Chain A
Amino acid sequence: MQPFSPFAVFNMSLYPNALEKMPVTDQIVVRCRKGDVRAFRELYEAYARAMYNICLRMTGHAADAEDVLQEAFTQVFKNLDKLGSDSSITAWIKRIVVNHCLSYLRKKKVYFEEVGETDAAEEAAVDEGAYALTVSAVKEAIGQLPDGYRTVLNLYIFEEYTHREIADMLGITESTAKTQFMRAKEKVRQLVKLKTKEV
């Protein structure tokens, strides 16, 4: 008869197969909830670059982007218990990061104020063939946008939120969000065009 140690039991999971079947990030979340420091690191590493890029686009400054990223991840780590089992962790983290970026902008007194209704057809006013878009020119142009325009443009094109979602985040109407986006885009085109002429 083999001796049976109760400690052998402690090495066994109650649900040994459940964890293996989970997607990797879900496993990390489970381990974070248990207080595993390495799991926090893995979670951070998995999202740091993408989330830092959001912060960088939204703030426009590397040092500020790092500060905002840090604040956002502090909140992510503290609130992992509140993440529902059906929620997408990526969308959840991204939303926290975006919210921190927006509160940073509000602190900087950036207002996403109402603007007069404009004709959506103004988009067509630019001569599309007169200039060529390049990554560096577009990057530079976006960087030169006023904070309000840049925010709306980033949220729509890069973060892929709808005009409705952007309006809710910024506390403006959907049509204002659309108009701001059109104007931001127009401004980028003008800046790129200017840049192309300079070259």
Chain B
Amino acid sequence: MQLEDFIQQNRSAFEEEGPGPRVWAALEKELPVKQRARVVQLMARHWWKAAIIVALVVNAGLLVKFLHTKQEVAYVLPEMEEMQVYYTSRIEQKLDELGQYPEEQLGLDSTTRKELQLRNETYLLLEKELMSNPGNERIRAAMVRYYQMKLELLDKILSEQEKYHHITPSNKKDAL
């Protein structure tokens, strides 16, 4: 029998046990996660800035998903208007408060600032869909979600600002 055939046929018999525990013990000390941990530590104070972007992007994705699953349930529009007036005023009030902090103190980049504006691209998309399908429950729910999410994020940013800088704008109102 050829040597290679014999080895292939008895392959498992040629295998030894695995390495001793010292190999993993040494590897564990050098894992490339430590560097990441330092980055995470650095980011810890500003985690909410990253969170805002993630949340806004995810929410935009969810809204698009909502819009693609249409449901024909009739709802009355005046309810919607009432809801819009309520949330719009709350959000604008929060945006005003945020506007009173100096930009360098807020540390928000232009993308985040743009996303935080009341009528951002997601809003315009929702508004357009709502106009063409006024009775669609899913678009309605998506709009409410959009408002609530934005409001909560603004609250979070404002409370972080207070926590770190102990400066409250003069017209600070009760949180949501």
Chain A residues at the B interface, C-beta cutoff of 8 Å: 1, 3-6, 9-10, 12, 14, 35-37, 40-41, 44, 48-50, 52-53, 56, 65-66, 69-70, 73-74, 77-78, 128, 133, 135, 138-139, 156-158, 185, 188-189
In the complex the two chains form, is A4's CB within 8 Å of B19's CB?
no
In the complex the two chains form, is B6's CB within 8 Å of A70's CB?
no
Main secondary structure of the interface of A (DSSP, over half): helix
Chain B residues at the A interface, C-beta cutoff of 8 Å: 1, 3-4, 6-8, 10, 13-20, 22-24, 26-28, 30-33, 36-37, 51, 54-55, 57-59, 61-62, 144-145, 148-149, 152-153, 156
Pick the residue among A35, A40, A70, A78 that contacts B23 (CB under 8 A): A70
In the complex the two chains form, is B6's CB within 8 Å of A138's CB?
yes
Given A1-B144, A5-B152, A44-B24 in contact, is the A52-B18 Cβ separation under 8 Å?
A: yes
B contact residues around A74 at 8 Å (CB): 27, 30
What 6 new A-B contacts, CB under 8 Å, besides A4-B148, A40-B27, A77-B32?
Answer: A4-B145, A5-B152, A37-B28, A70-B27, A77-B30, A133-B1
In the complex the two chains form, is A135's CB within 8 Å of B54's CB?
no
Given A9-B59, A74-B30 in contact, is the A133-B6 Cβ separation under 8 Å?
A: yes
How many residue pairs bridge A and B at CB < 8 Å? 102
In the complex the two chains form, is B149's CB within 8 Å of A69's CB?
no
In the complex the two chains form, is B23's CB within 8 Å of A157's CB?
no
Bound together, the chains give a CA A189 to CA B3 distance in angstroms of 8
